[in-house]
């Protein structure tokens, strides 16, 4: 069970001013040790609202560690060096190998790094290095040495329904084109990434009171990152802020004990499966 003490199920009225909404979210975030700002990676509005929430938290006196799914642990020395340099946006993106790693336009993320520099926040790289992710996805956890396997294996109790749902979501994300045999290995890789990120978050909490996590929305789903944190350190106070895209005309921020749903209009995207089907 995720915990955010003092919160009750309620609804906060949506204000025309996104900065005012961000202040409402920041007020809730005060109690949390870990705050997840879950995005659709290519949605500029999500990134703008992430920066608004972080800025509101900073204005209220918070000084969290800022953690990114988009950066893998083997990049941490480069991240540390980059945050000390007065580099412009293009140089920072190059130093972090942003486009080489396949992430959307760095300019959407730049305000977060600017805030980190301005307030001298520690920035940490969360993700499992890509060679390890590829190996697990290709060969499964069984391919790893026992010590490495135990380090990244899921800490969650067995739940077949949850695992089937995660597998279905992975299949959908890959347009139904994955070989059936590949799906269980992809699920293992997904869990391994979440366990690795959870461990990094908890290590950061040994040195800081709060961590703000920039992460894709999929990692906030049941069985994901927050649940791995809870399994590793029960009682960690966590708040999930879920920037959702919806066709419905939403007028409220839905707030429950550990989750805030911030609705907004969907992007008009081309069919993401078309290139895959064409191969």
Structure confidence at residue 8 as a pLDDT band (50, 70, 90) = very low
Given this model, what pLDDT does residue 251 score?
56
Structure confidence at residue 250 as a pLDDT band (50, 70, 90) = low
Strand 259-264, strand 252-255: pairing? antiparallel
Structure confidence at residue 53 as a pLDDT band (50, 70, 90) = very high
> What digits encode the pLDDT tens for the residues 115-155?
999 999 999 999 999 999 999 999 999 999 999 999 999 99
Helix (H) or strand (E) holding 11: strand 10-13
Please state, in angstroms and rounded to a whole number, the distance separating the CA atoms of residues 6 and 258.
10
Please report, rounded to a whole number, the percentage of residues in the chain having pLDDT higher than 90.
Answer: 81
Please state, in angstroms and rounded to a whole number, the distance separating the CA atoms of residues 129 and 131.
6
Asked if residue 239 has pLDDT above 50, the reply is: yes
Structure confidence at residue 166 as a pLDDT band (50, 70, 90) = very high
How far does CA 209 lie from the centroid of its chain? 19
Inter-residue contact 50 to 214 (CB < 8 Å): yes
- Higher model confidence: residue 192 or residue 21? 192
Asked if residue 23 has pLDDT above 50, the reply is: yes
How far does CA 120 lie from the centroid of its chain? 21
Angle at 61 between CA 59 and CA 65, to 5 degrees: 100
Token pair of 153, please?
Answer: 């294996």
Helix (DSSP H) and strand (DSSP E) numbers for the chain: 11, 8
Please state, in angstroms and rounded to a whole number, the distance separating the CA atoms of residues 117 and 260.
27
Q: What is the average pLDDT across 262-266?
A: 90
- Higher model confidence: residue 113 or residue 12? 113
Inter-residue contact 67 to 212 (CB < 8 Å): yes
Q: What are the b/e assignments for 11-25, b being 16+ CB within 10 Å?
A: ebebeeebeebbbbb
Q: What is the average pLDDT across 52-73?
A: 98
Structure-derived torsion over alpha carbons of residues 134, 140, 144, 148, reported in degrees to the nearest 10: 80
Least confident interval from 194-198, 231-235, 258-262: 258-262
Given this model, what pLDDT does residue 88 score?
85
Short-list 183, 185, 171, 178, CA closest to 141: 185
Given this model, what pLDDT does residue 225 score?
98
> What digits encode the pLDDT tens for the residues 189-224?
999 999 999 999 999 999 999 999 999 999 999 999
Helices of type H across the chain: 18-29, 44-59, 76-84, 89-95, 110-118, 130-139, 146-152, 160-173, 182-205, 225-232, 274-278
> What digits encode the pLDDT tens for the residues 68-118?
999 999 999 999 999 998 878 889 999 999 999 999 999 999 999 999 999
Inter-residue contact 67 to 214 (CB < 8 Å): yes
Q: What is the pTM of this model?
A: 0.92
Given this model, what pLDDT does residue 203 score?
98
DSSP state of 88: -
């Amino acid at each position: 069970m995720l915990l955010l003490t003092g919160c009750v199920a309620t609804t906060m009225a949506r204000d025309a001013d996104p900065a005012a909404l961000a202040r409402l979210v920041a007020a809730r975030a005060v109690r949390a040790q870990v705050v997840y700002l879950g995005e659709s990676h290519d949605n500029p509005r999500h990134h703008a609202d992430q920066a608004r929430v972080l800025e509101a938290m900073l204005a209220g006196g918070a000084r969290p560690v800022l953690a990114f799914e988009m950066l893998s642990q083997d990049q941490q020395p480069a991240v540390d060096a980059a945050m000390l340099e007065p580099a412009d946006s293009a140089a920072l993106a190059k130093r972090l190998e942003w486009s080489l790693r396949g992430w959307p336009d760095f300019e959407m993320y730049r305000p977060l790094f600017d805030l980190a520099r301005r307030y001298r926040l520690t920035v940490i790289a969360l993700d499992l290095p890509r060679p390890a992710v590829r190996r697990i996805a290709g060969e499964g956890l069984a391919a790893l040495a026992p010590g490495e396997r135990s380090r990244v294996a899921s800490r969650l109790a067995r739940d077949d329904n949850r695992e089937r749902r995660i597998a279905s979501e992975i299949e959908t994300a890959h347009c139904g084109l994955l070989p059936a045999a590949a799906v269980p290995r992809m699920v293992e890789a997904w869990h391994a990434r979440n366990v690795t990120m959870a461990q990094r978050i908890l290590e950061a909490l040994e040195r800081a009171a709060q961590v703000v996590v920039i992460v894709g929305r999929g990692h906030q789903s049941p069985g994901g990152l927050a649940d791995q944190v809870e399994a590793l350190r029960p009682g960690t106070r966590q708040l999930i802020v879920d920037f959702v895209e919806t066709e419905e005309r939403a007028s409220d921020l839905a707030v429950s004990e550990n989750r805030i749903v911030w609705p907004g209009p969907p992007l008009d995207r081309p069919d993401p499966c078309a290139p895959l089907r064409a191969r």
